[in-house]
Amino acid sequence: MRIAMIGTGYVGLVSGTCFSEFGTDVVCVDKDENKIEGLKKGVIPIFEPGLDTLVKNNSEAGRLTFSTDLAAAAKDADAIFIAVGTPPGENDGQADLSYVYQAAKEIAEVIDGYKVIITKSTVPVGTGRAVERIIRETRPDADFDVVSNPEFLREGAAINDFMRPDRVVIGAETKRAQDIMAELYRPLYLIETPILFTKLETSELIKYAGNAFLATKISFINQMADLCEKVGADVHQVAKGIGLDGRIGRKFLHAGPGYGGSCFPKDTQALAYTAREAGAPVSLVEDVISYNSARKRQMAEKVIVQCGGSVAGKKIAVLGLTFKPNTDDMRDSPSLDIIPLLQEKGAQISAYDPEGMAEAEELLTDVSYGQNAYEIMSDADALVIITEWNEFRRLDLDRVKGLLKSPVMVDLRNIYNPDEMKEAGFDYLCVGRPLSAFSAE
């Protein structure tokens, strides 16, 4: 069995590497020569824990290779994955599929013998059918099946998510295609992973419905946090209390500054667009999208209120810039909204992030960066935690207090306890967690 993985972005590189770890021969293809040259030397273009070791081991074992030659890779492969980018298009949330269609054409031109062509990129419902049409039009004689096999990888945990997934979804409509896909995922049968075979459109929609549901779950608990602040309830306990109901589940109920990243914002918008076009609008998801973007403004407002109503001329120290910990990804990070809003109101921002500062420098202006968490705090009027990196969870609070001009802290990820922070002498504000009844004034 041999795979060609077209596109060595996040999804393609992780998936290709993990398939090679499963024992399959994989060639990862990309148009970017520098990237491919780097990968051949073991230079990993993204930050993903564990990926470098897997790339190194499988490259050395000869199962994982890198190339810019799509034609040769596709010709030799039994299964060809399309994992190219699907950036937001110009049209109101519609994903731009030109890279997917271009890859389909290039594949069609070179294939001979039976091939399974799999869309791995997140693509709107109907894309698999369109890929089928493109290949058929380009090569009426081709023997192939198009399959949809969405990924559910979380950045920072992608290797584990690939190796031990909750489920694998495969939209494959012929026995031949199903057999090849089952063979590729054979190691997962051993650990009894549920493998769900569906038709193309169903598989495509599962990906969007899953992400939209999770985005809704996060937005729901964020709204509950707003309500908790008004009525004196604790959102941690609300999340636990409802999450222990097996029908709800405890995961994805952490209140915070709103979801970000490369998937939830893009996928909810694409789903809303598809649904509007199909004449079955998903108004719940539309509400989630607008609530989540308003939430980021609301978080800037929270900081301003905590600073006594104005941040003009004040220095605000920000810990955490990436959309979540264990990634260097800044895409749609709440920090990209919150920081400029504070700057508009006259704040000076100093910031630190363990992995995100290089990318942040390209996206934010007039921010000064430090080499560690403490360096940015000197003489700051307030400390704001936007991303919950582990190293921010156990700050030396005496040291922090000594460095800050005033001991004001806004913890948008609820990583500290309000009562303990009060005890430690901080003027502390978090999300949906007032002081406990026992210590309330």
Report the interface residues with ligand UDX, using CB under 6 A: 151-155, 211, 214, 218, 252-254, 256, 259-264, 323-324
Environment class of 239 (CB within 10 Å of its CB; exposed 0-12, middle 13-18, buried 19+): buried
- Say if residue 323 carries a ligand binding annotation: no
Q: Could you write out the three-class secondary structure of the chain?
A: CEEEEECCCHHHHHHHHHHHHCCCEEEEECCCHHHHHHHHCCCCCCCCCCHHHHHHHHHHCCCEEEECCHHHHHHHCCEEEECCCCCECCCCCCECCHHHHHHHHHHHHHCCCCEEEEECCCCCCCHHHHHHHHHHHHCCCCCEEEEECCCCCCCCCHHHHHHCCCCEEEECCCHHHHHHHHHHCHHHHHCCCCEEEECHHHHHHHHHHHHHHHHHHHHHHHHHHHHHHHHCCCHHHHHHHHHCCCCCCCCCCCCCCCCCCCCHHHHHHHHHHHHHHCCCCCHHHHHHHHHHHHHHHHHHHHHHHHCCCCCCCCEEEEECCCCCCCCCCCCCCCHHHHHHHHHHCCCEEEEECCCCHHHHHHHCCCEEECCCCCHHHCCCCEEEECCCCHHHCCCCHHHHHHHCCCCEEEECCCCCCHHHHHHCCCEEECCCCCCCCCCCC
Residue nearest ligand UDX, CB atom distance: 263
| Residues labelled as active-site residues | 263
Q: What are phi and psi of 147, to 5 degrees?
A: -125, 145
Comparing CB distances to ligand UDX, the nearer of 135 and 386 is 386
Calpha distance 85→129 (Å, rounded): 18
Comparing CB distances to ligand UDX, the nearer of 165 and 407 is 165
Comparing CB distances to ligand UDX, the nearer of 152 and 374 is 152
> Taking the complex as a whole, how short is the minimal distance between the CB of residue 254 and ligand UDX, in angstroms?
3
- Say if residue 122 carries a ligand binding annotation: yes
- Say if residue 63 carries a ligand binding annotation: no
- Say if residue 260 carries a ligand binding annotation: yes
Comparing CB distances to ligand UDX, the nearer of 47 and 259 is 259
Residues near 311 by beta carbon (within 8 Å), at least 6 away in sequence: 303, 304, 342, 345, 346, 347, 381, 382
Residue 276: how many CB atoms within 10 A of its CB? 15
- Say if residue 314 carries a ligand binding annotation: no
Comparing CB distances to ligand UDX, the nearer of 155 and 411 is 155
- Say if residue 342 carries a ligand binding annotation: no
> Taking the complex as a whole, how short is the minimal distance between the CB of residue 332 and ligand UDX, in angstroms?
8
> Taking the complex as a whole, how short is the minimal distance between the CB of residue 83 and ligand UDX, in angstroms?
13
Comparing CB distances to ligand UDX, the nearer of 30 and 48 is 48
> Taking the complex as a whole, how short is the minimal distance between the CB of residue 251 and ligand UDX, in angstroms?
7
> Taking the complex as a whole, how short is the minimal distance between the CB of residue 101 and ligand UDX, in angstroms?
22
- Say if residue 86 carries a ligand binding annotation: yes
- Say if residue 356 carries a ligand binding annotation: no
> Taking the complex as a whole, how short is the minimal distance between the CB of residue 211 and ligand UDX, in angstroms?
6
Comparing CB distances to ligand UDX, the nearer of 261 and 407 is 261
- Say if residue 296 carries a ligand binding annotation: no
Pick out the residues of the known binding site for substrate.
152-155, 207, 252-256, 260, 324
Pick out the residues of the known binding site for NAD(+).
30, 35, 86, 122, 155, 266, 331
Pick out the residues of the known binding site.
30, 35, 86, 122, 152-155, 207, 252-256, 260, 266, 324, 331
